[in-house]
């Protein structure tokens, strides 16, 4: 199927880079009909004196989730729908004569074609039609905080500092994140990307002191710096900022509300103001979570990828002798949810600004050619809902079918037996049945790694590499201390897959099979946190969860164990793999000089190339 397809590949890549729609069109923004009706929220929201809507880790998912298979329809509202929802909620707040704020906890970069699919030479999420300023800034955010994905690339950080932060007029907060820029004399100076803190009054005149705190991140780019939270709370500016007592301390930051350093910030405030209400909005680990640090505080985390809108309310009193009354809720972002809580439906729900944002997002998707159609996916391929290996596993598809097929194109070594090894983490999102577009490709497989190979490796040796990479067997197991240290190091660099997967696994183990077997609930998140009551706005059955090893490989060729093969692998494990080969055999000493490039096709192009050949 894939032989002699070089002209097709060249044409395909030309279409993608040039934005030619004639190559293959799919009208963007048309959501597939869900396989079951969307479930309505279980109950109205609990309003307080001050109420806050929360987004975090949006990662470019502003067009909403558009596939028919659950849980995707739960999150099918686009950012224009959300804008209309916020507008109506503001009206309700006026009618109730209470405050309603809107906050975001960071990571607006990296995730879909809207952030990753910009034309060559553009800046992620900001080129001639800046996502950041044109769409996010059209919503009335009261506070936004920086995320680690705003710091991986200096150009993105500079864009946030120069173009994005000024539009929030002192409300884009980076309490412990700096950027180095030239001062007026051309000398380098380190300054906050946004502001350290903000003090403002709500519509009702309530005094707010806000901070935007990032976790102890070490993966930032050159000429950006992040300060440890434990050091930040000792700074003079921080002590000055908390000296005056507000009505509410508002902590909006890119840090999980549990098992991280928010207690350091809360304790520093409590040393000065023992009972002042503290409302905390975290992010980063992509989960739904809630915690109360004491009787006058609550912290929530609102998921990822516009799959959750967070809600928190607080009833304030003049004398804080009794505990503050909080409520929290995790909303599914879809029209059913929005219309239920807004009390408006159909044409009465859509606002002028909401429709304008939706049109603008679709226009940007068209400009980035995100509708380019590679093919039609025959079934759902998921990261963890199906076992690995299996026919519904995206990892199985990628390493056993898609990569071998794609790398065979215009390759003189395609007839030589081979074994392919990759890390499972290069895949980021599920692939669902239906149109497979450029946007789907960028969402599912964003990382542009090269495929390398070492020739003439005995199959018997190559077959042992995967177990060594996955540390299978007692001789390969690290000590518990080493594993914990490695996990801390990865987390500090921004790795959150382990925490997110653990959350999904626990969710499934609690009552997954029973609730799915009942058949009366659609698939979605089923949250269990440490706050009182039920946090989920809509009731679901949890997604099935299956573990996938850190590294995966293609099927071994059916040849003699002593036969030589090409051992193919992704570039960033080169050093590790060469070391493993030298431990597994003594016939020869392998070195980096033995490693060669196997194909010009990168890891993030594989699914598109495969779909063009297999799914048409």
- What would the pLDDT profile of 501-544 be if each residue is shown by its tens digit? 999 999 999 999 999 999 999 999 999 999 999 999 999 999 99
Residues 6+ apart with CB under 8 A from 335: 38, 76, 77, 81, 349
Cis peptide leading into residue 71 (ω within 30°): yes
Q: Which of 364, 359, 353, 351 is nearest to 131 (CA)?
A: 364
Sequence ranges of the domains in the chain: 31-40+47-367, 373-470+549-614
pLDDT of res. 209 = 98
User: Model confidence over 225-280: pLDDT tens digits?
Assistant: 999 999 999 999 999 999 999 999 999 999 999 999 999 999 999 999 999 999 99
Place of tokens 């392998």: 590
8 Å CB contact between 53 and 105? no
| Dihedrals phi, psi of 192, to nearest 5 degrees | -60, 145
> Which tokens hold the place of 513?
């099979």
486 burial via Cβ count (<10 Å: 0-12, 13-18, 19+): exposed
Q: How far apart are CA 125 and CA 352, in angstroms?
A: 24
- Rounded to 5°, angle at Cα 500 from 329 and 147: 75
Local structure of residue 176 (DSSP, 8 states): T
Q: What is the model's pLDDT at position 131?
A: 55
Least Cα distance to 65 among 310, 254, 287, 335 occurs for 335
DSSP 191: E
Would you say 323 and 77 are in contact if contact means Cβ atoms under 8 Å apart? no
pLDDT of residue 484: 83
pTM of the model: 0.93
Question: Where does 31-40+47-367 sit in CATH, by number?
Answer: 3.60.21.10
pLDDT tens figures, 379-413: 999 999 999 999 999 999 999 999 999 999 999 99
Cα separation, 211 vs 281, whole angstroms: 10
In the structure, how many helices (H) and strands (E) does the chain have?
A: 18, 24
User: Does the CA dihedral 395-397-400-406 come out positive or negative?
Assistant: negative
Is the pLDDT at 201 greater than 70, yes or no? yes
Q: Looking at residue 140, what is its pLDDT?
A: 97
Closest CA to 382 of 429, 424, 441: 429
How big, in percent rounded to 5, are the helix, strand and coil portions of the chain? 35, 20, 45
How far apart, in whole angstroms, are the C-alpha atoms of residue 83 and residue 136?
9
For the chain, first and last CA: distance in Å?
11
pLDDT surpasses 50 at 594: yes
Which fold is adopted by the domain 373-470+549-614?
5'-nucleotidase;  domain 2 (3.90.780)
Report the distance separating Cα 598 and Cα 416, nearest Å: 12
Q: What does the pLDDT read at residue 133?
A: 55
Angle, helices 574-584/459-469, rounded to nearest 10 degrees: 120
């Amino acid at each position: 199927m894939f032989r002699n397809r070089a002209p097709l590949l060249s044409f395909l890549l030309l279409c993608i880079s040039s934005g030619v729609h004639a190559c293959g069109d799919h009208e963007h923004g048309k959501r597939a009909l869900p396989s079951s009706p969307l479930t309505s929220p279980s109950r109205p929201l609990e309003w307080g004196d001050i109420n806050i809507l929360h987004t975090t880790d949006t990662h470019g998912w502003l067009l909403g989730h558009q596939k028919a298979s659950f849980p995707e329809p739960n999150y099918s509202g686009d950012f224009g729908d959300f804008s209309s929802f916020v507008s109506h909620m503001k009206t309700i707040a006026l009618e109730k004569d209470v405050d309603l704020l809107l906050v975001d906890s960071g990571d607006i970069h990296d995730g879909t074609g809207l952030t990753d699919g910009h034309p060559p030479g553009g800046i992620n999420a900001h080129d001639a039609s800046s996502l950041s300023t044109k769409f996010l800034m059209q919503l009335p955010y009261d506070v936004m905080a920086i995320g680690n994905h705003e710091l991986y690339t200096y150009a993105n950080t500079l864009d946030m500092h120069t173009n994005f932060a000024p539009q929030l007029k002192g409300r884009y907060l980076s309490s412990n994140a700096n950027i180095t820029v030239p001062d007026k004399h051309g000398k380098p100076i380190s300054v906050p990307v946004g502001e350290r803190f903000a003090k403002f009054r709500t519509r009702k005149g309530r005094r707010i002191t806000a901070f935007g705190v990032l976790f102890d991140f070490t993966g930032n780019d050159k000429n950006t710096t992040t300060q440890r939270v434990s050091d930040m709370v000792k700074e003079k500016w921080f002590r000055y900022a908390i000296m005056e007592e507000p009505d509410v301390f508002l902590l909006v930051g890119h840090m999980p509300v549990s098992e991280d350093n928010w207690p350091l910030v809360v304790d520093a405030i409590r040393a000065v103001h023992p009972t002042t209400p503290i409302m905390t909005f975290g992010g980063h680990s992509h989960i739904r979570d809630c915690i109360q640090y004491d009787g006058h505080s609550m912290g929530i985390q609102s998921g990822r990828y516009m799959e959750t809108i967070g809600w928190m309310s607080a009833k304030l009193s003049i004398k804080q002798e009794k505990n503050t009354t909080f409520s929290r809720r995790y909303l599914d972002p879809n029209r059913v949810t929005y219309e239920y809580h807004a009390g408006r439906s159909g044409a009465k729900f859509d606002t002028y600004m909401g429709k304008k944002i939706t049109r603008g997002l679709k226009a940007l998707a068209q400009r980035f050619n995100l509708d380019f159609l590679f093919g039609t996916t025959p079934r759902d391929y998921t990261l963890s809902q199906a076992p690995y290996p299996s026919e519904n596993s995206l990892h199985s598809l990628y390493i056993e079918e898609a990569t071998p097929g794609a790398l065979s194109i215009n390759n003189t070594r395609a007839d030589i037996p081979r074994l392919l090894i990759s890390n499972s983490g290069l895949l980021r999102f599920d692939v669902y049945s239906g149109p497979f577009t450029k946007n789907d490709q960028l969402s599912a497989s964003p990382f542009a790694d090269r495929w390398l190979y070492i020739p003439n490796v005995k199959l018997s040796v190559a077959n042992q590499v995967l177990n060594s990479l996955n540390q299978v067997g007692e001789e390969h197991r690290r000590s518990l201390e080493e594993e914990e240290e490695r996990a801390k190091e990865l987390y500090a660099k921004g790795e959150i897959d382990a925490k997110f997967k653990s959350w999904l696994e626990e969710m499934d183990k609690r009552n997954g099979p029973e609730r799915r077997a009942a058949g009366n609930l659609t698939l979605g998140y089923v949250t269990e946190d440490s706050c009182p009551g039920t946090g989920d706005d809509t009731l679901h059955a949890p997604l099935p969860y299956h573990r996938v090893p850190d590294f995966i490989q293609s099927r071994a060729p059916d040849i003699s164990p002593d036969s030589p093969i090409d051992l193919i692998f992704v570039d960033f494990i080169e050093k590790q793999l060469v070391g493993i080969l030298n431990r597994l055999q003594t016939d020869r000493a392998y070195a980096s000089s033995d490693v060669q490039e196997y194909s010009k096709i990168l890891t993030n192009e594989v699914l598109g190339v495969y779909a063009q050949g297999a799914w048409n």
